[in-house]
């Protein structure tokens, strides 16, 4: 079994050999939450990466190619970037509405809504937002004018069943499956993800990824679930004829865990029943980005541009894998036979491989895919916004209004309670990971008696008082909050966006029956069983776990560019978001058992709201907005709904399947371009 390793950052050595004094611990905890330039924070990553990767740059090239390549999807047109092409997120407004598919009943059993209001393939309008519309946006108790439990998500693939791969072709063998939710007149439309798409930019700083945190910080080389899956194995070949199963434990790698989820989702990228070995069998034989234009000045890919201008000159993806990864992960001369219902078996290379027989590299393709995309996404760090320059000492980088907004952000508006630190999120590695120490002289944080070292306590699980009754002011004007004590997954909060039962978030279970919530695992005494760290306090029955309806706190960096907002995409503008917080959320009272005390009425004036919004604009990195390196990219053709006839029916091809409208995202090089339009409705 490969060791956990530790989080590693350039110039940092991580250890638990620190003075155990309250002074160090308190100072570190406070410093981690300070709003400062992201340039002061190293990019985290696994210490044992070299066990797998032999050439980091080649791995980044492989990761960027795989992320943008339309050949990865079962339909030969859907890539990871299909949902992350604009500031790391998605701006499509047609065929992007999903019903409440993750809804549960009072007993916690699935009770999904499977009908799209207004029908599939509709185009969202300005009047659709916010999804919970009130007569007075400052008063959550005012008359409800309209309410929708739907989600503004990202369209993926049509509902199909996987039937195999064609040699050296990106489009796979697929059989259409009738779809009751996503169809117009009985014709399948592209399906829509049940949560809004978060940005991949700066996602490297999150300890766990996805809205519900299911992408674990330990990558197991196979799927998003880390140590939760006891049967996740890859195959190692120390020599070509010696192949054995091993478990992978790559810590600080939730990006890798996240990356291997969507390619097998029958909503996002895949026909149902496809495996990662099937993806490997197809993709390893293809020329990278063969369908797409690559800019000659692409910061990573330009040097490998094919003479045609389309794709890379590298003959196959297997060549890139061999350049990036150590041979022991791909050189095996035997094959893996997964034909039977039992455990896969290592067999002699077949003369004519069957559909469920795979070479070594194909079988390990999830390992390559996850690590390579993590390596690429680790370069997508936006740390040069006006706020960063201001935090570095350039007083003129922010306007007076933005400075006022910053003070409100830290004070009256209480934003900093959850959106703190250089990342503007509480769900990050710097706040939630193990004790760590920096080399002497690092300018990031100076702690008494540590010669420039940095320390932090694992705060993955935290104790807090949550609201039970509204805050009440006593005779002296002091505001008192009546609440109950909870333990919760730090960085994950129920803020009353929607009723809890519509989506449990981190309160749901993983596919193996384990709670996604680490606080619930803690109270069940199962953290060590799943190789997860224990908190610094013991189980106290006065503190009940709180997880239902809680979601990961997103970063606010580049938030100007990433509408619509919240896990359901239910707010169109930053003004609507600020109004939401000002009234204490929409469903605070319904969800009171799981809502933090800071979700309460704020009493912001119109001018104060505008100042906060102005400050949020200062978190936009112009390199992201204008797609300058490292945010440059190849061309992409993005599915954007289906053409319709005059009677509203969907236009079909000769097979009776819905035609797709494609939106071109042009290739840009390191110098960037005009950028792509924000999420815009009429």
Number of alpha carbons in the 13 Å side-chain half-sphere of residue 351: 0
Rounded CA-CA distance 139/145 in Å is: 13
Query: Residue 211 and residue 548: Cα distance in Å, rounded?
Result: 13
CA nearest to 128, candidates 152, 157, 153? 152
Dump the DSSP string for 83-112: GS-BTTB----BS-EE--TT-B-TTS-B--
- Rounded-to-integer distance, Cα 181 and Cα 114, Å: 5
- Give pLDDT tens digits for 70-81: 999 999 999 999
Closest to 638 measured CA to CA, from 147, 2, 81, 55: 81
**Rounded to an integer, what distance in angstroms lies between the CA atom of residue 413 and that of residue 614?**
14
pLDDT of the residue at 481? 52
CA 263 to CA 378: how far, in whole Å? 19
Which of these, 667, 634, 561, 675, lies nearest to 202 by C-alpha position? Answer: 561
pLDDT at 543: 83
Label residues 252-286 b or e (16+ Cβ within 10 Å = b): bbbbbbbbbbbbbebbbbbbbebbbbbbbbbbbbb
56-90+157-190+197-381: CATH, from 2.40.50.140, 2.60.450.10, 1.10.760.10, 3.30.499.10: 1.10.760.10
The pLDDT, as a whole number, for residue 29 is 42
Cβ contact 424:35 at 8 Å: yes
pLDDT of residue 200: 99
Query: Residue 506: which residues within 8 A CB-CB, separation 6 or more?
Result: 212, 213, 489, 492, 516, 517, 547, 550, 551, 552
Tally helices (H) and strands (E) across the chain. 14, 26
**pTM (two decimals):** 0.92
Identify any residues that bridge with 162 across adjacent strands, giving them in sequence order.
174
Residue appearing with tokens 């609201």: 467
Whole-number pLDDT of residue 532 = 87
Would you tell me how many other CB atoms lie within 10 Å of the CB of residue 303?
Answer: 12
Burial class for 524, CB neighbours closer than 10 Å (0-12, 13-18, 19+): middle
Cα–Cα distance, 43 to 411 (Å, whole number): 28
Q: What is residue 69's predicted lDDT score, i.e. its pLDDT?
A: 99
Six token digits for residue 670:
């390191």
Distances (CA, A) of 34 to 10, 41, 72, 409: 21, 11, 40, 12
C-alpha distance from residue 132 to each of 148, 421, 552, 670 (Å): 6, 30, 21, 41
Q: pLDDT under 50 in the chain at which residues? A: 1-5, 10-31, 434-457, 479
- Residue 348 DSSP class: P
pLDDT at position 441 is 31
Amino acid 541: pLDDT? 76
Q: What is the residue whose two structure tokens read 């340039």?
A: 39
| Contact yes or no for 504/535 (Cβ under 8 A) | no
Residue 465: partners with Cβ closer than 8 Å, 6 or more residues away: 481, 483, 484, 485, 486, 597
Distances (CA, A) of 128 to 117, 131, 296, 499, 572: 11, 6, 42, 19, 9
**Tokens read off for 401:** 């209004």
What span, in angstroms and rounded, lies between the C-alpha atoms of 625 and 622?
A: 5
Q: Max Cα separation, the chain?
A: 86
CA–CA separation, 71 vs 75, rounded Å? 8
Q: Is the alpha carbon torsion for 551, 556, 558, 560 positive or negative?
A: positive
Cβ-based neighbour number of residue 60 at 10 Å: 23
Residue 584 and residue 600: Cα distance in Å, rounded? 4
User: What local confidence, expressed as pLDDT, does residue 451 receive?
Assistant: 35
Q: For residue 238, what is the enclosing H or E element?
A: strand 234-239
494-505 core/surface letters (b: 16 or more CB in 10 A; e: else): bbbbbebbbbbb
Quote the strand ranges of 79-233, DSSP E.
97-98, 132-134, 144-147, 151-152, 160-164, 173-176, 183-184, 187-188
Helices (H), 341-399: 360-363, 365-377, 386-391
CA dist 39 and 390 (Å) reads 12
In a 10 Å sphere around its CB, with 0-12 CB exposed, 13-18 middle and 19+ buried, how is residue 395 labelled? exposed
Q: Measured between alpha carbons, how far is 505 from 362 in angstroms, rounded to an integer? A: 33
pLDDT attached to residue 453? 34
Give the whole-angstrom CA distance, residue 503 versus residue 564. 18
């Amino acid at each position: 079994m490969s060791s956990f390793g530790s989080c590693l950052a350039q110039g940092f050595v991580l250890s638990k050999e620190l003075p155990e004094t309250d002074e160090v611990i308190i100072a570190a905890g406070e410093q981690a939450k300070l709003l400062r330039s992201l340039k002061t924070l190293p990019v985290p990553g696994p210490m044992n990466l070299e066990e797998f990767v032999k050439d980091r740059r080649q791995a980044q090239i492989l990761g960027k190619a795989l992320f943008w390549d339309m050949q990865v999807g079962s339909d030969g047109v859907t890539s990871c970037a299909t949902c992350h092409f604009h500031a790391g997120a998605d701006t499509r407004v047609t065929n992007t509405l999903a019903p409440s598919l993750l809804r549960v009943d009072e007993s916690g059993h699935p009770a999904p809504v499977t009908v799209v209001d207004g029908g599939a393939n509709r185009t969202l309008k300005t009047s659709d937002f916010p999804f919970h519309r009130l007569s007075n946006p400052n008063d959550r108790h005012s008359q409800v004018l309209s309410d929708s439990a739907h989600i503004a998500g990202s369209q993926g693939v049509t509902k199909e069943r996987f039937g195999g791969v064609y040699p050296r072709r990106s489009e796979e063998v697929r059989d259409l499956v009738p779809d009751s939710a996503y169809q117009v007149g009985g014709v399948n439309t592209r399906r829509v993800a049940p949560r809004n798409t978060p940005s991949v930019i700066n996602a490297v700083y999150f300890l766990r990824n996805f809205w519900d945190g299911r992408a674990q910080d330990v990558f197991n080389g196979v799927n998003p679930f880390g140590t939760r899956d006891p049967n996740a194995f890859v195959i190692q070949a120390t020599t070509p004829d010696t192949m054995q199963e091993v478990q992978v434990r790559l810590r600080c790698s939730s990006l890798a865990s996240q990356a291997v989820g969507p390619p097998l989702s029958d909503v996002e990228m895949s026909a149902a029943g496809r495996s990662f070995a099937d993806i490997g069998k197809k993709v390893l034989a293809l020329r990278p980005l063969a369908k797409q234009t690559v800019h000659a000045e692409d910061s990573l890919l330009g040097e490998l541009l094919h003479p045609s201008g389309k794709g890379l000159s590298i003959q196959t993806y297997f060549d890139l894998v061999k350049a990036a990864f150590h041979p022991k992960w791909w050189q095996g001369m035997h094959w893996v036979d997964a034909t039977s219902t039992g455990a896969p078996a290592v067999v002699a290379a077949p003369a004519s491989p069957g559909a469920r027989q795979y070479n070594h590299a194909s079988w390990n393709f999830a390992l390559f895919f996850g690590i390579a995309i993590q390596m690429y996404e680790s370069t997508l760090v936006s740390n040069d916004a006006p706020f960063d320059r201001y935090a570095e000492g350039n007083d003129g980088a922010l306007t007076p209004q933005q400075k006022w907004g910053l003070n409100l952000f830290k004070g009256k508006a209480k934003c900093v309670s959850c959106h703190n630190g250089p990342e503007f999120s509480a769900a990050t590695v710097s706040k939630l990971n193990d004790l760590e120490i920096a080399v002497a002289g690092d300018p990031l944080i100076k702690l008494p008696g540590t010669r420039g070292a940095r320390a932090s306590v694992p705060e993955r699980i935290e104790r807090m008082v949550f609201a039970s009754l509204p805050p009440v002011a006593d005779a002296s004007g002091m505001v008192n909050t009546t609440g109950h004590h909870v333990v919760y997954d730090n960085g994950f909060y129920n803020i009353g966006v929607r009723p809890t039962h519509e989506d449990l978030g981190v309160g749901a279970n993983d596919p193996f029956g384990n709670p996604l919530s680490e606080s619930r695992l803690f109270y069940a005494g199962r953290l060590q069983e799943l190789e997860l760290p224990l908190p610094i306090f013991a189980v106290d029955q006065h503190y009940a776990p709180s997880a239902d309806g809680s979601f990961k706190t997103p970063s606010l960096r580049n938030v100007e560019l990433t509408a619509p907002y919240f896990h359901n995409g239910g707010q169109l503008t930053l003004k609507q978001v600020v109004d939401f917080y000002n009234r204490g959320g929409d469903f605070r009272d319904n969800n009171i058992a799981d809502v933090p005390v800071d979700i309460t009425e704020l009493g912001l004036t119109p001018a104060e709201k505008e100042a906060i919004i102005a400050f949020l604009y200062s978190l936009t990195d112009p390199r992201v907005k204008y797609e300058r390196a490292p945010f440059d990219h190849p061309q992409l053709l993005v599915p954007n709904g289906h053409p319709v006839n005059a009677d509203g029916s969907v236009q079909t091809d000769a097979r009776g399947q819905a035609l797709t409208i494609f939106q071109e995202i042009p290739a840009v090089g390191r110098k960037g371009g005009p950028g792509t339009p924000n999420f815009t409705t009429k």
